[in-house]
Structure 1
Amino acid sequence: MQLLTLLSDFGWQDSYVGILKGVILGILPTATIVDLTHGIPPQDIAVARFQLLMAYAYFPPGAIHVAIVDPGVGSQRRAIAVQTENAYFVAPDNGLLSGVLAQQAIVQAVELTNADYWRSASPSTTFHGRDIFAPVAAYLAKGIPIEALGTPIDPASLVQLQFPLRQLSRNTYHGCIQAIDHFGNLITNFPAAFVQGWSWQLQFQQTRYPGQFTYADVRQGSPIGLIGSHGYLELAINRGNAQAILQAEVGDTIELQMSD
């Protein structure tokens, strides 16, 4: 497989993204590279986790996903590659992969300790994307087996980002906001499957918001609960920004209430 995706907080103003692609193409000129996004807010691992979780399943089996949001670059945090049933992931071990790996069985995981597959045996302490992650991904795409890239690690030791979800009763769950998108929609960690066959509402900051089907089911400027295209329940405002209006943040508690 010669398909690689890139996700980062690098933006487009600087040449960082272009450099990643140059390193990959220098090793594998025939690579196909797809940009998932480079608009992750700086150092925001939670947003990166969710964006990768939303996107990876739309690519063919065997695709290699390179995700670089790395506030711990140059420290003792591990650089890793993970093979799952359907894909490969190359990233820092900081929780960025925790959403994907909750859905995908891990075949094997390695810490990227073999400098033979780095761009330099003395990598920059501030740009592991260029010196470690991009070249490793290119060599994977070129056919180098994942076990050659470094030291095997126990998948259970990988860093997890926690988004608490618990069932209080047959009809009630406590969860949280796991992501906020570009439109200000508040994406919860309640899977859409929870409400199949139920009427439902979200309670946030002591106010209840009934679940509907489309934004247009409420008047412009009114809040609404929806099943998002990503497969989770969300709290939105028709033609408005729920984050700004409700002063919400990732991690805030939210409740799901269901009825027959």
Structure 2
Amino acid sequence: MIAFFTDWGNDSYYVGICKAVMKTINKNVEIIDVLHDTKKFDPKVNAHILYRFSKDFPEGTIFLSVIDAGVGSNRKPIILKSKSRNFYFVAPDNGLLTLVAEEYGIDKLIEINNEKYYFRKSYSTTFHGRDIFSPIAAYLSKGIPIEEFGQEINSINLFRYKSPEIKDDSIEGEIIFFDTFGNIQTNIPAELGDTLFKKDDKINIHYANKKVQAYYERVFSDVLPGELLIHPESSGFLEIAVNQGSAKEMLELDNEGVEIILSKENY
């Protein structure tokens, strides 16, 4: 199975071409389009998304992940084979694999440079998704050993981020992305929230020299329409949301990477 993830959008032919390339190489391969409408050019935001959806895929999945603003530059095309779950990640080495490397561990890293497995010998400098990444994923799905695709390397590029932690009676973390409803996704595991807070607690959210208040709840309807809440979302992290509204708009946020502090309101 190949899980296909890009920032190309669904209104272009690029996704279809790459699927045709993969089917040309392995007509029986199953390809799942996970997401193609995501924040463009941003490996950090999409590293969090990749990590979250990877958890629900079966062992042995090949993740073809092309968020690649540096296409054609000296950034490496790579394959990461994980220690746990036997996952394969085919991607540019631009930080996109930071979180999956931390979560699943690295069994082997390969820099892709064996042109025998490229789709075209005269490959495009701007469409490595078609000419390099897609054929490599397809050949992997046919059982070609990872060592065939290039030389082993010792490290990859990793980005820095604010690790979630409890400090005194507060939790510190980071806003990592916004979903299509305007819900604010954080990197704070839900179990940290449940360590300090209980249902119906009033929570202060500190961010960018601002403070707002929300209720610590389980589902959207625990608060009235238009009210702000914090709750564990489906991937096991804390989400800041508005019942039938946009938390992103309410908090007037434009960018990810904003550090946040959650603390219980003192009555």
TM-score for both structures, normalised by structure 1: 0.92
Secondary structure in 1 matching 2:58: coil
Stretch moving more, 118-127 or 160-169:
160-169
Is 1:250 equivalent to 2:266 in the alignment? no
* CA gap 1:202/1:77 in 2 versus in 1, 3 angstroms: farther
* CA gap 1:123/1:202 in 2 versus in 1, 3 angstroms: farther
Map of 1:112 onto structure 2: 112
Aligned to 2:24, which of 18, 23, 26?
26
Listed as ranges, the matches of 1:128-139 within 5 Å are 128-139=128-139
Letter in 2 for 1:213: R
Map of 1:12 onto structure 2: 10
Q: CA deviation at 1:153?
A: 1.2
Map of 2:147 onto structure 1: 147
Stretch moving more, 162-171 or 17-26:
162-171
Listed as ranges, the matches of 1:144-183 within 5 Å are 144-154=144-154, 157-165=155-163, 167=165, 169-183=167-181
Distance 1:187 1:104 in 2: 21
Secondary structure in 2 matching 1:188: strand
Is 1:56 equivalent to 2:57 in the alignment? no
Identity among equivalent positions (%) equals 36
Letter in 1 for 2:96: L
Q: CA deviation at 1:234?
A: 1.3
**Conservation of the 8 A alpha-carbon contact between 2:164 and 2:174:** no
Secondary structure in 1 matching 2:174: strand
**Conservation of the 8 A alpha-carbon contact between 1:77 and 1:94:** yes
Aligned to 2:205, which of 183, 203, 206?
203
Secondary structure in 2 matching 1:139: helix
Map of 1:238 onto structure 2: 243
Return structure 1 stretches of 4+ with deviation > 3 angstroms: none
TM-score for both structures, normalised by structure 2: 0.90
Secondary structure in 2 matching 1:239: coil
Stretch moving more, 34-43 or 68-77:
34-43
Secondary structure in 2 matching 1:206: strand
Extract unaligned runs of 5+ from structure 1. none
Q: CA deviation at 1:152?
A: 0.8
Q: CA deviation at 1:151?
A: 1.2
Q: CA deviation at 1:212?
A: 1.0
Secondary structure in 1 matching 2:138: helix
* CA gap 1:23/1:202 in 2 versus in 1, 3 angstroms: farther
Distance 2:218 2:166 in 1: 25
Distance 2:54 2:165 in 1: 28
Q: How many residues align?
A: 255
Map of 1:70 onto structure 2: 68
Letter in 2 for 1:149: F
Letter in 2 for 1:50: H
Distance 1:138 1:168 in 2: 43
Stretch moving more, 248-257 or 86-95:
248-257
